[in-house]
Structure 1
Amino acid sequence: MASLDIPLFVIASALAATGIRAAAVIATGWTLLVTVFLALFAVATTEAGWGAVLMTAAAAASVLAATVIVRGSLPTHWLMVGPFRIRPASPGAAVRRHVGATALQIVVFWGLALGVVPAVIVWVETRWMLHVPIPAGACGAGVALFIVASAVGLWSGAVMSTQGEGTPLPIATARRLVIRGPYRFVRNPMAVAGIAQGVAVGMMLSSWLVVLYAACGSVVWNAAIRPHEERDLEARFGDEFLRYRERVRCWVPRLTPVAVDQPAASPAGASAE
């Protein structure tokens, strides 16, 4: 494997750096193959776990780099398919229908993102011998954070489904711009709550990998998904959304709620991000 690494990774990577697409594909394919082999080796032997982690990070970076070389940019629109395809909810649907759909979405997504995936990550972390001591009190703090974040998530879903004529899911997104409840403090309260929940689950499970999973989720959402959602909102709501974006930040909540009828002018120094 080491002998094959020289032509298939070292030389191929050097050629890929000059813009040769085939070399980028070869280097990335080899990196993925080695990553899979090392991951299976770590599962079978409980050895080389840290190497598997590093190779996983290298494989992800290689895929991103190869995609940019081959296509010229990252096709983030590929993420906006299936349930993440942006489409307004059906007009005239009853509020109870939106509430029921939102409740189902929360059950499914919380169950997968905060239950199934963290359980798999913890199993891998244990099998690969990657455990890192967590400070005392982290579990209790995680429980408190999870309760608060879950309350914000439920509050956001309730406001969106009862006042937005839609659901939080892009495939049945709200037909009205919602500036009520938690949306008066931060533009994306459900995303903030979801990331906080992921961190809280990692703290409760004493798993640094679950915390990293939550952090990576925030990066992907902010860099790849949020731009598409905000372009859609700007296209549908125009100046109303632009004024809202000027007054309310994406990640950092305001200390005081924005007034719904506040004038368009934004305070000096206000950030839209």
Structure 2
Amino acid sequence: MNSFNKLFKPTKSKNKFWILLKTYLQTSIFWIIFLGIVPFGLIQFESEFFGFIFSPQKIIAVFLFISFSSLALYSAYIMSSKGEGTPLPMDCAVKLVSIGPYRIWRNPMAVSGIGQGIAIGVYYGSVFVIVYAICGALLWHFFVRPAEEKDLLNRFGKSYESYQKATKNWIPRI
């Protein structure tokens, strides 16, 4: 856990355009790997070895995917423009962000990523992809989140502590 905490470094860049560009490049790479390559491989594995893919409501899946993608892009924009950093630990925000989607969830990008993964699983009718997304949520919740929150407490102190008490991880604050 200690070496994981060393990943969190505030960005040194002051150029908001460059921060936003890096954020969208990082987001694109994550999407390609975790919402494209891995689900595609799981779908191929599932259909090859189990010979079935159930047929869910693809319209609902597309709506969910677009909604969660919009949440991710808007969250990334807010993090970059107001937090003056990227969502990645190696180039993280220098200001605490508690507006926009961050007012509703402590990590709307995690919520959106898991939602996107589930939407892909529903679209393709893949139980394996849905389980993969849920496993991603569990990994984030039990391994990444504690390290991230420790870093945020160290950097932002009482401001983050108050924010943490007022805003939930998974359940939206209305």
TM-score by length of 1: 0.61
1:115 aligns with 2:36: yes
Q: Which fold has the larger relative contact order, with Cα–Cα distance below 8 Å and residues 6 or more apart in sequence?
A: 2
Partner residue in 2 for 1:261: none
Structure 1 segment 246-265 matched on structure 2, within 5 A: 246-255=165-174
Once residues 219 and 130 of structure 1 are traced to their aligned partners in structure 2, the CA distance between those partners, rounded to angstroms, is: 28
1:209 aligns with 2:135: no
8 Å contact 2:71–2:109 — kept in the other structure? yes
Structure 1 segment 27-176 matched on structure 2, within 5 A: 76-77=1-2, 80=4, 85-90=7-12, 92-129=13-50, 131=52, 133-134=54-55, 136-137=56-57, 139-176=58-95
Query: In proportion to residue count, which structure has more helix?
Result: 2
Partner residue in 2 for 1:264: none
Once residues 243 and 153 of structure 1 are traced to their aligned partners in structure 2, the CA distance between those partners, rounded to angstroms, is: 24
CA RMSD, aligned part only?
A: 1.6
Once residues 51 and 155 of structure 2 are traced to their aligned partners in structure 1, the CA distance between those partners, rounded to angstroms, is: 47
In our comparison, the structure showing a higher alpha carbon Rg is 1
1:188 aligns with 2:110: no
Partner residue in 2 for 1:260: none
Once residues 232 and 106 of structure 1 are traced to their aligned partners in structure 2, the CA distance between those partners, rounded to angstroms, is: 21
Aligned positions, number:
174
Once residues 75 and 2 of structure 2 are traced to their aligned partners in structure 1, the CA distance between those partners, rounded to angstroms, is: 25
Once residues 234 and 86 of structure 1 are traced to their aligned partners in structure 2, the CA distance between those partners, rounded to angstroms, is: 12
DSSP-derived class of the 2:27 partner: helix
Aligned-partner residue type, residue 17 of structure 2: R
Aligned-partner residue type, residue 86 of structure 1: F
DSSP-derived class of the 1:128 partner: helix
Once residues 213 and 77 of structure 1 are traced to their aligned partners in structure 2, the CA distance between those partners, rounded to angstroms, is: 26
Structure 1 segment 219-230 matched on structure 2, within 5 A: 219-230=138-149
**1:93 to partner: Cα distance:** 2.0
DSSP-derived class of the 2:84 partner: coil
Identity of aligned residues (%): 38
Once residues 192 and 226 of structure 1 are traced to their aligned partners in structure 2, the CA distance between those partners, rounded to angstroms, is: 12
8 Å contact 2:47–2:53 — kept in the other structure? no
Once residues 224 and 168 of structure 1 are traced to their aligned partners in structure 2, the CA distance between those partners, rounded to angstroms, is: 16
Once residues 158 and 221 of structure 1 are traced to their aligned partners in structure 2, the CA distance between those partners, rounded to angstroms, is: 21
Please, which runs of 5 or more residues in structure 2 have no aligned partner?
A: none
Please, which runs of 5 or more residues in structure 1 have no aligned partner?
A: 1-75, 256-273
